[in-house]
Amino acid sequence: MTRADWALINYVSRLLKPDEREAVLGDLLEAGDNAWQGFLGILGLVFRREALLWKNWRPWLAGFGVAFPSSFLLMGASLSVSWSYMRLLCPELLQQASLTRPSATLVLLCQGLLLIGWSWTGGFMVGSLSRRTLWASSLLCYSPCLFCLSRFRVASLSPLCLFLFLLPAIWGVRQGLRIPGIKFSTAIVLAVAVTLLMLPQWNSADQHWWTAPRWTLNWLLIWPAWYLVAMARKSPTTAVRTSTNN
Amino acid sequence: MLGEFEYLLITAAAGLGDNAYGAAIREHIASTTGRKCSIGALYTTIERLETKGLLETWMGDATPQRGGRAKRMVRVTGKGVRAAKDFFDAVTRVSRGASWVIPTRTGSRT
């Protein structure tokens, strides 16, 4: 093998775990495989490893059940928070919505807390369910973001307003990866709080029949919170350790 | 029951004894069966068998022949030996009485 071949194989082998990489590179050298065989061999191993992970239901649930649909809805929620903030700054908008400043502040507070709660619980669920397939869940979350960003045409708002949910979501993912689990009491408090916060949003003055379907869809965002409750209840001592291998 | 490749791998590892590691097992399987064994198939099967408790693995010594890289050593467990023996017995039983005469075109239906 030439230096360039070896550099390529070395680079691809970084996709493997350190111990496995050591053994595989040693095997390739010992067997005297050529660069192409070595390259294909390592790619084959990486592909098989990845395919094995997807035999489990957890990465599917994290990616297609939470990350992908939630990112669409959370972008909508981020925009709602941004609008509420704008309304608070502009007295004319406040008057149009026939809201007083304290009630508009309360709406903004509820929406903000709700956004944090939805994003954090969704992120936590994704983090704990798809440890080794997090790259796929991230792609499934970011692709709707790019789609919406390319079609964002609201002059009065910055496109960054779409991504208010990302910070608490990333925080949730990090916690999901780090923390061994959530206690049942914490999980239930979180789920009940998120559910209760949704009620005034549903009945708030600015909800009309044409916004109702969107808010109905938003109820989908609370299922990660209740999933965490169910998992914490399933194993109260170890709390939520939904997956260690995925 | 074991799969065919799992059986080959366990048998190769058992045959190599203390010298069973990735490259040696690959070479053994290729030379005895005439079938090429990919690194991907080898290591994913080793991991699967280890999860089932049929194999044990650990990182061994590095040799200059391997560019100073360590070997992943493999040992067949008691459970692995029993599983391989069961597979061999099943194949032997099912093969008993089988006719290995290659049927000719004209006589194959009679």
What does the pLDDT look like over A2-55, one tens digit per residue? 777 788 888 889 989 888 899 999 998 888 888 888 889 999 999 998 998 999
Mean pLDDT confidence for B10-37: 94
Candidate from B38, B40, B70 with C-beta closest to A22: B70
* Most confident stretch, A82-96, A208-222, B70-84: B70-84
Has residue B59 got a pLDDT over 70? yes
- Judged by a CB distance cut-off of 8 A, whether residue A23 touches chain B is yes
Per the model's pLDDT, the better-predicted residue between A107 and B20 turns out to be B20
Q: What is the CATH number of the domain that holds B42?
A: 1.10.10.10
Has residue A136 got a pLDDT over 90? yes
What residues in B contact A47, CB-CB < 8 Å? 40
Q: Is the ipTM of this complex over 0.85?
A: no
What residues in B contact A35, CB-CB < 8 Å? none
B101 domain residue, yes or no: no
Tell me which residue range forms the domain holding B37. Answer: 4-84
d(CA B59, CA A26): 12
Q: What pLDDT does B63 receive? A: 82
Q: What pLDDT does A202 receive? A: 60
Candidate from A28, A31, A52 with C-beta closest to B44: A52
Q: What pLDDT does A214 receive? A: 61
B99 domain residue, yes or no: no
Cβ–Cβ under 8 Å, residues A130 and A172: no
Q: What pLDDT does A167 receive? A: 95
Has residue A156 got a pLDDT over 90? no
Q: What pLDDT does B107 receive? A: 54
Distance of residue A1 Cα from the nearest chain B Cα, in angstroms:
13
Cβ–Cβ under 8 Å, residues A163 and A145: yes
B95 domain residue, yes or no: no
Q: What pLDDT does B65 receive? A: 79
d(CA A134, CA A141): 10
The total number of structural domains that make up chain B: 1
Cβ–Cβ under 8 Å, residues B82 and B8: no
